[in-house]
Amino acid sequence: MSLCVALVHHPVYDKHKKVVATALTNLDLHDIARSSRTYGVERFFIVHPVAAQRELAARIAAHWQGGEGAEKNDFRRQAIELLQVVPDLAAAVAALTATHGRPPLVCATAARESAGTPVTFRGFAATARERPALLVLGTGWGLTEEVLAGCDVRLPPIRGVSDYNHLSVRSACAIILDRLYGDRED
């Protein structure tokens, strides 16, 4: 298995469906790194077009990888070391292509329905055992239509027991990784 995760801060929608760049959220970085480490994810890309935000992400990562942070909490260090900061999704794809010698299967996620048939969680997990894959998550109000259209496949929205589907991206990522790789009882 060589699944990677990318958290995209641009281009994503805001609540008025305007295309924006969202601010880095410290707990996105920590929570998604910890979930990634739990489920055997190979690398976790923070995607941000703004250099100052990329530097902030790198500085947070360095804190937990450096002496003081690692000593304080080695579990955080183990999670954070999966982190790689890139300016756009193409850079994440290029990095994985360079590592694996072939491009990853790029899989979009979205809380909203969109055209075409999504892959199943089980199907995508099976594919990702055969070839490198990149799971793409959007911040804000989700990945733009253009990003969705540029991905090879997409997973279905996560449904609970109601029409309410406003999970945080941190929660959605945890659930998706568990659906793909968790020790489910079935």
**Amino acid identity, residue 48?**
H
Q: Is 183 in the site for its own copies (CB under 8 A)?
A: yes
Determine if 98 is a binding residue for its own copies (CB under 8 A): no
Among 4, 22, 31, 53, binds its own copies (CB under 8 A): 31
Does residue 60 touch its own copies according to CB under 8 A? Answer: no
Q: According to CB under 8 A, which one of 35, 53, 84, 144 is a site residue for its own copies?
A: 35
- Considering beta carbons, is residue 93 or 170 the nearer one to its own copies? 170
Of 32 and 147, CB closest to its own copies? 32
Provide the mask over 108-147, with x wherever binding to its own copies is found by CB under 8 A and - wherever it is not: ------------xxx-------------------------
Nearest residue (CB) to its own copies, 37 versus 103 = 37
Site for its own copies contains 75 (CB under 8 A): yes
Q: Which stretch binds its own copies (CB under 8 A): 6-14, 45-53, 56-64, 69-77?
A: 69-77
How far apart CA 13 and CA 141 sit, in angstroms, is: 5
The Cα 186–Cα 183 span in angstroms is: 9
Q: What is the DSSP string of the chain?
A: --EEEEEE-SSEE-TTS-EE-PPP-HHHHHHHHHHHHHTT-SEEEEE-S-HHHHHHHHHHHHHHHSHHHHHH-HHHHHHHTTEEEESSHHHHHHHHHHHHSSPPEEEE--SS--SSPPPPHHHHHHHHHHS-EEEEEE-TT-B-HHHHHHSSEEPPPP--SSS-----HHHHHHHHHHHHHS----
Q: Does 161 bind its own copies (CB under 8 A)?
A: yes
Q: Which residues bind its own copies (CB under 8 A)?
A: 1, 15, 27, 30-31, 34-35, 37-40, 73, 75-76, 78-79, 120-122, 158-162, 164-168, 170-175, 177-179, 181-186
